[in-house]
Amino acid sequence: MKALLRTLMVAALFSFAAKANAQSGTLIFREGNNGSQNIVANITDAPGQAYNLKDRNSIGKNDEARSVVMENVRVGAVLTVYDSPNGDASDDYCVITVKQLVSHKVIGSFETSFEDNEVKVQKFKNGNLDGKVSFIRVN
């Protein structure tokens, strides 16, 4: 009986983990504006991620991303893209804050600030960020 109970508990944990993973949101960085052209990087919306795209073993190409397609992204997710490969605010950067669950949304450029019911997009500094993204952070 204990072995059966233990087996059922393990199976339930695997099932829960699979469902939680399946519900993760996706951030698809694209080479062109408005979610067009090739995929530069593809990551989840899990908090605590940070990627220097100049690293050889990075998740994507440096200085290529111009837009991001958001799929099933959780409320409270904060995505920040930086021109600086160190992920600091010394150069251009853009902060995207998710206000309500985003089932599908295209952020067509990192160079325009706007706000709607789903997201708040804030672009900081004065230079060009589209096609110059070197660091990605998700919290």
What's the pLDDT tens digit per position in 86-120? 999 999 999 999 999 999 999 999 999 999 999 99
Model confidence at 61, in pLDDT bands (50, 70, 90)?
A: very high
- Amino acid present at 27: L
At 11-21, the pLDDT tens digits run 444 444 444 44
**pLDDT given at position 1:** 52
Pick 25-138's CATH classification: 3.40.50.300, 3.40.50.1100, 3.30.420.10, 2.60.20.10: 2.60.20.10
At 117-134, the pLDDT tens digits run 999 999 999 879 999 999
Domain boundaries, the chain: 25-138
Is the Cβ–Cβ distance between 24 and 72 less than 8 Å?
yes
Pairing of strands 78-82, 39-44: unpaired
Who has greater pLDDT, 57 or 39? 39
Model confidence at 2, in pLDDT bands (50, 70, 90)?
A: low
For residue 37, give both structure tokens: 């052209």
Q: What is the CA radius of gyration of the chain?
A: 18
